[in-house]
Amino acid sequence: MIETTPQKRGVPLWVQIVIWVFLVGLLALVGVILGKRQQGTVQPGDAIPDFTLPLFSGYEYEGKSEVKLSDFEGKLVVLNFWASWCKPCEQEAAELEEAWKFYEPGGEVIFLGVDYVDTEPEARAYLKKFGITFFNGPDMGTKISQLFRIRGVPETYFIDQNGALYYVKIGPFLSVDEIKSIIDQKLQ
């Protein structure tokens, strides 16, 4: 009504395109990230990519100082995330070791401990304190924990003989029987 400027130019098309691409791109980015956050940890049925776990010295698997998930094809893998600063982890440490001792002779089940954001001297002290003999190594670069999108420690992932995740335990196990019952589901 009071506009008197002679030219009334709209927004040039290319600027409009840039704006919309930027806006939609931003929203898509945030949306995808939100989706990732909402997902939580990997779920049974999700594909589990291969990863490499370097072992703490003193642990060896068939003479090698690092293991791959694919090394254990045909075996059931119990993947436990822990840290020496994590109090709840201590509650389940002895139970995990006991379960490992139970299945070790059969050779059908492998226990892997992944040490999340920890320092080596403390981690060793922790392993020694609970006399843990199953394979343990540091989560170098927090790559494995990101792969599983863990939300904290302790968390334990059960991967069956075909390499498929079939059970996720958040928080510490309450008993050896709990661990055994989850493993025995897949052992015939």
Partner 1 sequence: MFAEFGYGVLLVSLIVAIYSGLAAVYGAMNKSAALVESARRAMLLTFPLISVAAAALIYLLINDHYEVAFVYEVTSRSMPTYLKVTAWWGGQAGSLVFWSWLLAVFTSAVTLRKWDRDIEFLPWVILVSAITLTFFLGMTVFFENPFTRFWLVNGNVEPSMFAPANATVFTPQDGQGLNPLLRHPGMVIHPPMLYLGFVSYVIPYAFAMAALITGRTDDRWIRITRRWSLWAWLFLSFGLVLGGRWAYDVLGWGGYWGWDPVEIAAFMPWLTGTAFLHSVMIQEKRGLLKQWNMILIILTYALVIFGTFLTRSGVLSSVHAFANSPIGPFFMGFVSLTFIVSVALVIWRWPQLQAETEMKSMLSREALFLLNNLLFMSILVVCFWGVIFPLISELFTGQKVTVGPPFYERATSPLFAALLFLMAVAPLSAWGHSTVQTLGKAIWKSAIAALAVTVALFFTYTQNIGALIGFFLIVLIVLVTFHEFWRGARARQKTQGENFFTALARLMGRNRRRYGGYIIHISMALMAIGILGIEIFQKQTQGTLAAGEKLEIAGYTVEYRELASWDNQGEGVNYTRAVVNVYEDGIYLGQLTPRIDYYYDSQQNMTIPGNRSTLRDDLYILLVDWQPVSSIGATFKIYVNPLVNWLWIGSLLFLVGVIFAAWPDNDPSEEHARRNITRDNRQPSAAD
Partner 2 sequence: MNKRKLQITNYGVLAFALALLLAGLFAGSAFAQDNTPTDDEVNVIAKQLYCPVCENTPLDVCPTEACRQWRELIRSQLAEGMTEDQIKQYFVDNYGARVLAEPPRTGLNWLVYLLPPAIILLGAFFLFRSFREWTKPKVEATGVGGERGETSSLKKDDYVARLEEELKKRK
Question: Which residues are at the interface with partner 2 (CB under 8 A)?
Answer: 83-85, 117-122, 138, 140-143
Residues numbered 113-142 forming contacts with partner 1, rule: CB under 8 A: 142
* Residue 56: CB minimum distance to partner 2, A: 12
Q: What whole-number distance in Å separates Cα of residue 93 and Cα of residue 81?
A: 11
Q: What whole-number distance in Å separates Cα of residue 103 and Cα of residue 95?
A: 13
**Residue 70 binds: one of partner 1, partner 2, none (C-beta under 5 to 8 A by kind):** none
* Residue 92: CB minimum distance to partner 1, A: 19
* Residue 17: CB minimum distance to partner 1, A: 11
Q: Give the largest Cα separation in the chain, rounded.
A: 91
151 binds partner 1 (CB under 8 A): yes
Single residue of 52, 61, 124, 152 touching partner 1 by CB under 8 A: 152
Gyration radius of the chain's alpha carbons? 24
17 by Cβ neighbours in 10 Å (0-12 / 13-18 / 19+) ranks as: exposed
Residues numbered 73-92 forming contacts with partner 1, rule: CB under 8 A: none
The contacts of residue 100 (CB under 8 Å, 6+ apart) are: 111, 133, 134
Q: Of 88, 79, 90, nearest to 113 (Cα)?
A: 79
Q: What whole-number distance in Å separates Cα of residue 111 and Cα of residue 99?
A: 9
* Residue 82: CB minimum distance to partner 2, A: 12
171 binds partner 1 (CB under 8 A): no
68 binds partner 1 (CB under 8 A): no
**Residue 119 binds: one of partner 2, partner 1, none (C-beta under 5 to 8 A by kind):** partner 2
